[in-house]
Amino acid sequence: MVDFYGGHAVALLGYGHPRLTAAIERQTRELLFQSNAVPMAVRERAASALAALAPEGLSQVLFVNSGAEANENALRLAFRATGRSKVVAVEGAFHGRTAAAAAVTWGAERWYAFPRRPFDVVFAPRDAAALAAAVDDATAAVILEPVQGVAGAVPLGRDLLAAARAATERVGALLVLDEVQTGMGRTGAPFAARLHGIAPDLLTVGKGLAGGLPAAAVAARPEALAGLAPGDLGTTFGGGPVVMAAVEAVIGALVEEGLMARAQVLSGLVRRRCQVGPVTAIQGEGLLLGLCTTRPAAAIQRELLARGFLVGTSADPHVVRLLPPLVLRAAEVEALAIALEEIPA
Ligand SMILES: Cc1ncc(COP(=O)(O)O)c(C=O)c1O
């Protein structure tokens, strides 16, 4: 089986990467767990490594356990720093399944089940001017994914990101970039924000952060932590030593093994080779790609699975989503192209 889905983008280094497994093994023997109430060198190292990878100025890091939890905390920080109660999100967005994260998720009404949203939310169309117009003096934050993953690897584009940055600066709101799916080198840059030269106030990361162990984080500018008192943000498991050792190993491998450059090269190869058979167009960034298909994506997914390829679907019924481990090989892309050629259009 060739994995082009990576367990929802989690298996960033593939399976059994020696640096990652050795780091986890070593830390397990040394100290399995201690809470973040206790300072630890391994957590300091992981936080520094993440801050170095993040866009400039995001020097403060809080480790949590899931992407949704990271977004919940980022939004709480924005409410606290601004004293306001409105968030602008983008149509098509996915930010997670907890109360606040789902409140800014497009179409969550179908499964939300909470009686009401905990704050005011306005969804702006995927358009720079419309987004800017939705931001006003009541806005605490704009939250967006640089490339909307669950929507089908839909890039929001540099203009929209720049408009979000300018609009938030205009009214004193915070810009939260949800890089849970686009972060950790997936787009070919450490974070998509860096690809587009955008500096957010808060950035969330998850998925492949620890290569397979549950981990996520909020990275923040110091100003975004205004009004925060000790104990205001908390977590039992977040920042535990085994997970921190894994984060350190993943970032080390990402940087030292040239995996971001590799993501760019292989992205180009997928774009050149895989627009065949039922695939009419390819969208996305780096190794977060959406193959637009003539027939339903779920059927193409089944047909590829029968040929030994694991791919994902998306909220768009005609987009097959690829989120492969960044250790993907060119020969595997070639093999996928051949399989797609065999599948009826
Ligand atoms: C962009 C984005 N944000 C947040 C989340 C939620 O992450 P988690 O499932 O770890 O809570 C996801 C998960 O798919 C995501 O793609």
Distance 182 CA to ligand 1 centre (A): 10
- The number of the ligand 1 atom at minimal distance from the alpha carbon of 97 is 11
Other CB atoms within 10 Å distance of the CB of residue 259: 23
Hunting for tokens 């627009």 — which residue is that?
Answer: 275
Q: What share of the chain is helix, strand, coil (3-state, %, to 5)?
A: 40, 20, 40
Closest CA to 180 of 154, 214, 208, 157: 208
Q: Output the CA angle 8-313-11, nearest 5 degrees.
A: 20
CA dist 290 → 167, 222, 240, 273, 316 (Å): 29, 36, 34, 14, 10
CA dist 178 → 7, 15, 20, 140, 182 (Å): 19, 25, 25, 16, 8
Distance 98 CA to ligand 1 centre (A): 10
Average pLDDT for 164-185? 98
Low-confidence winner among 164-178, 222-236, 263-277 (lowest mean pLDDT): 222-236
Our mutation pick for probing the ligand 1 site, out of 65, 104, 207, counting the most ligand atoms within 8 A of Cβ, is 207
pLDDT at 66 over 90: yes
Average pLDDT for 312-340? 98
Q: What is the pLDDT of residues 104-153, one digit of tens each?
A: 999 999 999 999 999 999 999 999 999 999 999 999 999 999 999 999 99
CA gap 65, 215 in Å, rounded: 4
Hunting for tokens 């399976």 — which residue is that?
Answer: 15
Other CB atoms within 10 Å distance of the CB of residue 20: 25
Contact status, residue 94 vs residue 180, Cβ threshold 8 Å: no
What domains can you pick out in the chain, each with its CATH number? 2-10+258-342 (3.90.1150.10), 18-256 (3.40.640.10)
Distance 312 CA to ligand 1 centre (A): 15
Other CB atoms within 10 Å distance of the CB of residue 317: 13
Q: What is the pLDDT of residues 214-260, one digit of tens each?
A: 999 999 999 999 888 888 999 999 999 999 999 999 999 999 999 99
Dihedral pair phi/psi, residue 217, rounded to 5° = -155, 155
Average pLDDT for 9-13? 98
